[in-house]
Amino acid sequence: MSAPVFLVEPDRLSGESVVLDGPEGRHAAAVRRLRAGERVDLTDGAGLLAECVVTAAGKATLTLDVLARHRHPRPEPRLVVVQALPKGDRGELAVETMTEVGVDEIVPWAASRCVTQWRPERRDKALGRWRSTAREAAKQARRPWFPEITELATTAHVAERIKAASSALILHETATSPLSAVRAPTTGEIILIVGPEGGISDDELDDFTAAGGRPTLLGPTVLRTSTAGVAAAAVLLAATGRW
């Protein structure tokens, strides 16, 4: 069984002993009930993973000795998914599964046909749920690099990201070029755009293609927006050799 993973600040991994406290410490001690002698891995979410062993357990803290440190390089190419806001809790489902497979950045996108809209008074709470979901999924998946969840993006902002990317692919049902046939770059940034349940509007598609985006077809079936991203990411991760 793999050792559980907990997130800590980078400067706390420099010494030979670490005190795990706060929410992570409470979860480790009170929920996971970890005790002296058990293995634990700590990460800063930015490439550093420390193999540790518990030396003492309190009610809400663990004291650990560091056995080894591993520095993992940032994955290349970087995979960014622009995810149109799904309905209900399907946004968290999309974030969870894309984090598990290895997506590096998720950009929530307020597409014109999104049923869900993050109104200003609720935006921070909704974004917080996405970030919390990504953090927990990254720990479960034992990722040394945690994904970035950006602020809510407009169509204009997405178009600017497309211009700067090494490759930008738009999942669209009218495309004739299959995603599986794309020759993905080995460096830089790949942007994958996933539209809402109602589809990407003609104006949005025009803006994205004008910026350099390429419409592609994921497959013969229609997927929900919350599952299309993880399916497409798996194809690209295999094509780039990251899988």
Residues 85-137 pLDDT 10s: 999 889 999 999 999 999 999 999 999 999 988 988 889 999 999 999 999 99
Q: Model confidence at 210, in pLDDT bands (50, 70, 90)?
A: very high
Which residue range(s) make up the domain with 29? 5-71
pLDDT of residue 111: 96
Does residue 172 share a domain with residue 154?
yes
Distance set, CA 61 to CA 13, 109, 145, 226, 236 (Å): 16, 39, 24, 37, 41
Contacts of residue 204, defined as CB under 8 A and 6 or more positions apart, other chains included, come to 111, 112, 155, 195
142 three-class SS: coil
Amino acid 120 reads P
Does residue 120 share a domain with residue 26?
no
Does residue 67 share a domain with residue 83?
no
Contact 202, 174 (CB under 8 A): no
Q: Pick from 71, 91, 107: which residue ends a domain?
A: 71
Does residue 233 share a domain with residue 172?
yes
| pLDDT at 1 > cutoff 80 | no
- Tokens found for residue 13: 């991994």
> Strand pairing of 105-109 and 78-84?
parallel
Does residue 97 share a domain with residue 46?
no
CB burial of residue 176 (10 Å; 0-12, 13-18, 19+): exposed
Tell me the CATH number at 37: 2.40.240.20
Does residue 149 share a domain with residue 44?
no
Q: Pick from 71, 100, 120: which residue ends a domain?
A: 71
Q: Pick from 26, 53, 71: which residue ends a domain?
A: 71
Does residue 214 share a domain with residue 153?
yes
Tell me the CATH number at 169: 3.40.1280.10
What's the structural domain count of the chain? Answer: 2
pLDDT of residue 120: 87
Does residue 55 share a domain with residue 82?
no
**Residue 157 C-beta-side C-alpha neighbours within 13 Å:** 11
- Enclosing H/E stretch for 97: helix 90-101
Does residue 145 share a domain with residue 32?
no
pLDDT of residue 88: 85
Contact 190, 212 (CB under 8 A): no
The pTM is what? 0.93
pLDDT of residue 106: 98
Does residue 29 share a domain with residue 105?
no
Paired residues of 194 in beta bridges: 83
Q: Model confidence at 222, in pLDDT bands (50, 70, 90)?
A: confident
d(CA 127, CA 12): 27
Does residue 27 share a domain with residue 134?
no
Residues 12-48 pLDDT 10s: 888 899 999 999 999 999 999 999 999 999 999 999 9
Does residue 127 share a domain with residue 230?
yes
Contact 203, 111 (CB under 8 A): no
